[in-house]
Structure 1
Amino acid sequence: MSTPAEGDQDTGFTWPMPPSGGWTADDLDSIPGLPSHTEMIDGGLFFVSPQTYFHMAVLRLLETALLDQAPEEYDVIREMTVTLDGRDRPEPDLMVVPYSALGQLRQTSFDPSQIVLAVEVVSPESVGRDRELKPRKYAKAGIRHFWRVEENDGTPVVYVYELDPATGAYAITGIHHDRLKVAVPFVVDADLTRLRRGRPGDGAGQDA
């Protein structure tokens, strides 16, 4: 969990103090003073560091591909949380959900049963959470499809996982370097080299 830096007591900012027994997922909407995109994992708060261009560009590329190629009954969501249980409310970088899951305009989170696909782009400060902790929790909550994206020489590498019902854990079904091409949860075809060519998100899904 993030902790106050030395000297913060002189800034006038008051760090939120958890109640007896710790925070719950429902508290995340009402804790005052939290920065945008705060996640809750095991009842602890995690703050998002400034994002890199790579992170932003990969999200744009994949979001464009998913929006262009997802069946019409699905929407692509970013910057929202999924409430896995009473003490876990992470924020995947991208989620695919059915339009039937969209409730009120002030909705701030989704149930894991509504998530068709969760995507995490690994950041330097969250490697452990993105590679191990969050996927394990997504699998336990029953999210069937998960993608983890990492950087290799300026190009995204997409690790594709599907939930194994026999073990309740994710099984890797593919590692995609230059081109992401999958058939589930629906057909997606995206040229991952567009970042290297300086055209992230431009025509994702078309042959180079």
Structure 2
Amino acid sequence: MTVELQWPYVPPDGWTAADLDRITSDGPYGELDALKHVELVDGELIVMSPQTEFHRRVVERLRNELERQAPPELTATREMDVVLGSRQRPCPDVSVVTAAAADDLARTFYLPEDVLLVVEVVSKSSEIRDRETKPRRYAEAGIAHFWRVENNSGAPVVYVYELDPASRSYALTGIFHDQLECRVPFPVDIRLDALVR
């Protein structure tokens, strides 16, 4: 039996970050519940594409390493929305947030002040968003650290950025091919090939 997906109409004032919490099987946008996950970028709903095995491994293992290496007052999470404004609710692949913020088990999103680092693992379907749009929005919201992970023929390459508070934009502070070693937002040392093997 084939189930036909009924797409909802865009609300009269456009989509907002709050609308995403109403996307449930019994909510007004129940039709979208059949989708795995959506995020809101610049007021547009973005349906997340199926992920590759490279993407899945890097996200899962990087989150695990960051969680293992983080100090007690921080924790690492994956695929949890961050509300950056009324029309901005991206869902980073990995985030490092305060442990206090993560203690609220009923929450469905974090706020920029809860987040120290966001990581996007670039996919073919999201290259422009992951390389340009989302980093710009994270920086404008004041999130101090951003990492972008690219697939270089099956090997992860990590681009590390730090926020310049004067310009509210990210500055590239390093490109890592084999070993990711940095001191902020806390000391991190990760063998990158271990993320995919």
Q: Please confirm whether the aligned pair reaches a TM-score higher than 0.5, indicating the same fold.
A: yes
Question: Within 1, Cα distance between the matches of 2:92 and 2:164?
Answer: 20
Contact 2:69 2:187 in 1 (8 A): yes
| Larger RCO, structures 1/2 (Cα 8 Å, 6+ apart) | 1
In structure 1, which of residues 7, 22, 26 is the aligned counterpart of residue 14 of structure 2? 22
Superposed, which structure 2 residues align to 1:157-168 within 5 Å? 157-168=157-168
Q: Which has the higher strand share?
A: 2
Query: How far off is 1:166 after superposition?
Result: 1.8
Structure 2: gaps spanning 5 or more residues: 24-29
Question: Within 1, Cα distance between the matches of 2:106 and 2:9?
Answer: 26
Structure 1 segments (4+ residues) deviating >6 Å? none
Name the TM-score, length of structure 1 as normaliser: 0.86
Question: Within 2, Cα distance between the matches of 1:191 and 1:141?
Answer: 30
Q: Which residue of 2 aligns with 1:133?
A: 133
Question: Within 2, Cα distance between the matches of 1:194 and 1:103?
Answer: 29
Superposed, which structure 2 residues align to 1:93-104 within 5 Å? 93-102=93-102, 104=104
Query: How far off is 1:195 after superposition?
Result: 4.6
Task: Name the stretch that deviates more: 100-109 or 129-138.
Answer: 100-109
SS in structure 2 of the partner of residue 142 of structure 1: coil
Q: Which residue of 2 aligns with 1:114?
A: 114
Identity %: 53
Q: Deviations over 1:31-79 (max 9, x none)?
A: 3232222101121111111110100111122112101100011111112
Q: Which residue of 1 aligns with 2:27?
A: none
Question: Within 2, Cα distance between the matches of 1:177 and 1:158?
Answer: 7
Name the TM-score, length of structure 2 as normaliser: 0.91
Structure 1: gaps spanning 5 or more residues: 1-9, 199-208
Question: Within 1, Cα distance between the matches of 2:166 and 2:104?
Answer: 36
Q: Which residue of 2 aligns with 1:150?
A: 150
Query: How far off is 1:104 after superposition?
Result: 3.4
Equivalenced residues, count: 188
RMSD: 1.4
